[in-house]
């Protein structure tokens, strides 16, 4: 759970606030029951603090509730939704986004010969990134792209993706 919490915090937090244009969906499938999803919506979150125990508490409260049906989201606290479903359900919901599956063995995410612009120029399509924990993803959906040949921890990969998007680096989508 610590790995998931760090990923959520990396995806949503800036130095002094929340990223309003970010949503994070966690897939919880480690227990004996059906697959569960938690969705954090940056523009709606309230009471979200930059402290791992606080985020763990939000998650714990949400998963103590009965799980909603597959494909349905129930708001547990402002900006935190709970729902049933597998990765295939999330991919259906992301049909309007460019889906990038991070894979250290794939082509680089940024364009060859690309550079970091002199000034920040965030200009990117709606991009959805798939990251896994120590287990391989259950899908080959999305375009496989790499952040380098070294397998990174999820929260580091998220920070790099935010940097590339925030600075307007031309992506290899």
81-98 pLDDT, tens digit per residue, is 999 999 999 999 999 999
Residues 8 and 77 in one domain: yes
Indicate the DSSP class of residue 136: P
Residues 32 and 80 in one domain: yes
Tell me which of 86, 120, 151 is where a domain ends: 86
First-to-last alpha carbon distance for the chain, in angstroms, is: 30
CA atoms within 13 A on the CB side of 69: 1
Residues 42 and 109 in one domain: no
- Confidence band (pLDDT; 50, 70, 90) for 24? very high
Residues 110 and 63 in one domain: no
Span 48-54, average pLDDT: 91
Q: Which residue has the tokens 């999803």?
A: 37
| Higher pLDDT among residues 166 and 114, named by residue | 166
Residues 31 and 81 in one domain: yes
What is the per-residue pLDDT for 137? 78
- pTM for the model stands at 0.92
Tell me which of 86, 112, 141 is where a domain ends: 86
Q: Which residue has the tokens 């494909």?
A: 71
Residues 64 and 104 in one domain: no
Give the domain extent around 55.
1-86
Two tokens, residue 45: 């979150």
Residues 168 and 119 in one domain: yes
Residue 34 predicted with pLDDT over 80: yes
How many Å apart are CA 90 and CA 27, to the nearest integer? 9
% of the chain surpassing 70 pLDDT:
97
Span 152-162, average pLDDT: 93
Per residue in 136-151, pLDDT (tens digit) is 777 889 999 999 988 8
Two tokens, residue 16: 């002094």
What is the per-residue pLDDT for 132? 85
Residues 82 and 28 in one domain: yes
Query: Residue 41's domain is classified under what CATH number?
Result: 3.40.1280.10
How many Å apart are CA 90 and CA 96, to the nearest integer? 12
Q: Which residue has the tokens 């460019």?
A: 98
Are 109 and 146 within 8 A, CB to CB? yes
Which residues are paired to 56 by β-bridges?
none
């Amino acid at each position: 759970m610590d790995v998931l919490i760090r990923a959520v915090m990396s995806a949503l937090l800036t130095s002094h606030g929340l990223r309003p244009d970010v949503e994070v969906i966690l897939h919880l499938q480690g227990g004996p029951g059906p697959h569960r999803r938690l969705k954090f919506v940056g523009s709606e979150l309230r009471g979200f603090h930059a402290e791992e125990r606080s985020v763990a508490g939000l998650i714990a409260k949400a998963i103590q509730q009965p799980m909603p049906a597959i494909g349905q989201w129930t708001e547990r606290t402002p900006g935190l939704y709970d729902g049933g479903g597998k990765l295939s359900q999330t991919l259906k919901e992301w049909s309007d986004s460019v889906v990038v599956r991070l894979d250290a063995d794939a082509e680089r995410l940024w364009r060859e010969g690309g550079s970091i612009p002199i000034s920040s120029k965030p200009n990117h399509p709606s991009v959805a990134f798939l990251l896994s924990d120590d287990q391989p993803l259950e899908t080959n959906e999305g375009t496989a792209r790499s952040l380098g040949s070294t397998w990174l921890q999820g929260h580091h990969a998220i920070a790099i993706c935010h940097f590339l998007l925030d600075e307007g680096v031309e992506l290899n989508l």
